[in-house]
Amino acid sequence: MSYRNDSDSVELGECTRNPGYKDADGDGPAARDNISASDSEEKRDSIGVKRLSDARDEYTQIKPYAGMPKELLVLYSSKARYRVPREILFWLTVCCTLVLVAVTIAVIALSPKCLSWWQASPVYQIYPRSFKDSDGDGVGDLKGIREKLDHFEYLNIKSIWISPFYRSPMKDFGYDVEDFRDIDPLFGTMKDFEDLLAAMHSKGLKLIMDFIPNHTSDLHRWFNLSRTRDPHYEDYYVWTDCKPDGPKPNNWVSIFGNSSWTYDEVRGQCYLHQFLKEQPDLNFRNPDVIKEMIDIIHFWLEKGVDGFRMDAVKHMLEAPHMRDEPQVDPNKPPELVTTEWDLHSDYTTSQVGLHDILREFRAQMDIYSQEPGRYRFMVTESYDYEEVYKTMMYYGTRLEKEGDFPFNFYLLDLPQNTSGVWAKHLVHLWMGNMPKGKWPNWVVGNHDRTRISSSAGRLYVRAINMLLLTLPGTATTYYGEEIGMENINVTASQIQDPAGKYNTSASRDPQRSPLQWNADTNAGFNEKTNLTWLPLHPDYETVNVEAQMKDDGSVLAQYRFLNTLRQSELPLNRGWFCYVHADANVFSYIRELDGLKRAFLIVVNFGKESAVTDLSSVRELPDELKVLISTTIANDGKVFPKSRIQTEVGEGLVIQYSTNTLFNPNHPEECYISEKACYLETIDILYKC
């Protein structure tokens, strides 16, 4: 290196020695200049090898500086005062990374499964004819639904089930499907459906479609090909020999009454229909039929629908031997057997092989559920009445999944006996039979059943909504229940329902009237003309969405508050459910979560008189209890001693309290939970326990 000393600077040059440097022997650069040329030539290689070593000796007097050469950087980086801190920082980084990875793995391993969208929100059923009419023909449609999506955001509802809108001759208002891959013009077009679905997804809403596997319309292409004995479609339906003027093949009876068999003149045989004669049953013992239905499932899943409600699934298979079903009353003359209640449906429902088909449907849906954030939901419909064990089979097994849950219709029987004991019985009918780890659900109304506000009475509407939204699991709300709509009166000349035309007392029109949006003409259902497909309820001027949005004490306001509370409070959306008390009037239960001091006591009076409930024997409750919300708004915030909790007829209380002693550890036989989870307050997380 060379060295140049100017007046203002010092510069190091390559291969020039520092003239101010003295080595240990006192020899300076001058001595080394006297080395002979021959000695220099001989030692050139050794000098080159020692250059880095020499540099370490020669530059100990120079401090590090920006832009130093690589040799100098290596020199200083190897010194302990630089190397040790660097190694400490490196190993600290490694250790911190390993700790973070371990913590992340532990959190993932210990965290309970997040609630899916169908668990976190109630399912809201839309009957499309009656929700909102956008074109003035008096019948609700898909564009009308799209216009009112803000209603679900207001209610904090994410899951919407829309009853059938397939192309149909409307003999059973859409449950007689002519084309599973098309939209009936009454409701709009496929473009209208796609726009609705896109709008729903943009708002974080999920769409559940009705899927009707048991039968088609008699106008369906498959049926027309089957009746003409097309080789591929000949066995798509259930046919058997019979004569046009002779006896029926057996005594099987339709849901709508009279024989399940109708003679077809084109084919010269009888076909089975467990519903209307215009709804021939498909033959699910034919693998081609199963494949056709799976293809239809794929069609709508490709469109982006989020799930299916499987209609009337218990009727999908019939016993191949086609024997007469046993009569409920053996002494009744066979010619008087005309309704489904006259027979034990041993050969026409819940046949061996049914669940195999449904599990195949589920497996196909699971393929689409692999897409992140797009779980596809499946719920089955089966009225099994006292045979609750049959309903529970639709959950599937530990090894094979079926529906996410079957609809629970037992709360529809609440009006039969308005009492706390009866309410507990109906709840326990499900909770006591549900397979371990499964998710419950609750239904208090639908398009086939009388509105709960009419069957139980308007006095109980708020209490029933409170029950629905504080029980564990998923609530299902039929449109209008959120404002307490009641049945309408329909005269014989106004009947639209095919079932009502067969039997006026069986008409389902009263519970299907247009939704009451406001006090304007046609209750805001049809704002273009004066047409409504069914009459409006005369109370629409006061019982409507718009009016109740302005009233903090309305049915709508309380429904919204309870739904929001349920979704925001861990004890309500995934905690323990424990029976506390039931008597002739009051049904009471606790919702709590392990590790969380905050819990909820729900007290609901389903009786016929006011009641004072004494819970002093429940030592896990504090002595004084403060009401968070009452169905009687004047009682919000009221404080009761636990020995005297007062409720009026049809009143419900949600009481929030704090406790260090949970109820469920001391009363395991009274408590249920789908998936146990504990709360760790110090770091605010849930974990498996």
Q: What digits encode the pLDDT tens for the residues 398-448?
A: 889 999 999 999 999 999 998 999 999 999 999 999 999 999 999 999 999
Question: Which stretch of DSSP H or E encloses residue 53?
Answer: helix 37-58
**pLDDT score at 16:** 41
Which CATH code is given to the segment(s) 214-283+318-351? 3.90.400.10
The first and second tokens of residue 53, run together, are 């070593």
The first and second tokens of residue 443, run together, are 């239904």
Distance between CA 607 and CA 628 in Å, rounded?
22
Please tell me which residue, 310 or 103, carries the higher pLDDT value.
310
Res. 23: pLDDT tops 50: no
Partners of residue 672 on adjacent β-strands: 577
Distance between CA 540 and CA 517 in Å, rounded?
8
**pLDDT score at 8:** 44
In angstroms, the Cα distances linking 656 to 558, 617, 681 are 16, 18, 18
Cβ proximity of 487 and 510 under 8 Å: yes
Cβ proximity of 647 and 409 under 8 Å: no
**pTM (global) more than 0.75:** yes
- Please state the φ and ψ torsions of residue 82, each to the nearest 5 degrees: -100, -40
* H-assigned helices in 59-141: 70-77, 80-110, 117-120, 128-131
- The three-class DSSP label of residue 379 is strand
Contacts of 48 by beta carbon, 8 Å cutoff, 6+ apart: none
Q: How many CB atoms lie within 10 A of CB 366?
A: 13
**pLDDT score at 62:** 62
Distance between CA 558 and CA 660 in Å, rounded?
29
Distance between CA 398 and CA 562 in Å, rounded?
33
The first and second tokens of residue 198, run together, are 């896109």
Among 318, 317, 311, 261, residue whose Cα is nearest residue 290: 317
Question: Same fold for the domain at 214-283+318-351 and the one at 574-687?
Answer: no
Distance between CA 605 and CA 276 in Å, rounded?
41
3.20.20.70, 2.60.40.1180, 3.40.1160.10, 3.40.50.1220: which CATH number matches 574-687? 2.60.40.1180
Res. 43: pLDDT tops 90: no
Beta strands in 617-663 (DSSP E): 624-630, 639-641, 645-647, 652-658
Please tell me which residue, 359 or 72, carries the higher pLDDT value.
359
The residue behind tokens 């097309």 is: 230
Mean pLDDT over 279-299 rounds to 98
Residues 481-505: pLDDT tens digits?
999 999 999 999 999 998 888 788 8
Distance in Å from the first CA to the final CA of the chain: 72
Distance between CA 214 and CA 238 in Å, rounded?
11
Burial of 671 (0-12, 13-18, 19+ CB in 10 A): buried
- Catalytic residue selected from 311, 402, 481, 594: 311
Per-residue pLDDT band at 15 (split at 50, 70, 90): very low
- Catalytic residue selected from 178, 281, 325, 381: 381
Parallel, antiparallel, or unpaired for β 377-380 and 307-310? parallel
- Please state the φ and ψ torsions of residue 353, each to the nearest 5 degrees: 105, -20
Which CATH code is given to the segment(s) 117-213+299-306+357-563? 3.20.20.80
Burial of 649 (0-12, 13-18, 19+ CB in 10 A): middle
Distance between CA 371 and CA 391 in Å, rounded?
30
Contacts of 42 by beta carbon, 8 Å cutoff, 6+ apart: none
311 included as an active-site residue: yes
What residue spans define the domains of the chain? 70-110, 117-213+299-306+357-563, 214-283+318-351, 574-687
Res. 17: pLDDT tops 80: no
Please tell me which residue, 635 or 72, carries the higher pLDDT value.
635
381 included as an active-site residue: yes
Parallel, antiparallel, or unpaired for β 206-211 and 307-310? parallel
Q: What is the layout of strands, in order, in the sheet containing 123-126? A: 405-406, 377-380, 307-310, 206-211, 159-162, 123-126, 474-478, 441-443
Cβ proximity of 270 and 261 under 8 Å: yes
Mean pLDDT over 285-297 rounds to 98
Residues 598-654: pLDDT tens digits?
999 999 999 999 999 999 999 999 999 999 999 999 999 999 999 999 999 999 999
Question: Which stretch of DSSP H or E encloses residue 311?
Answer: none
Res. 341: pLDDT tops 70: yes
Distance between CA 352 and CA 529 in Å, rounded?
52
**pLDDT score at 77:** 76
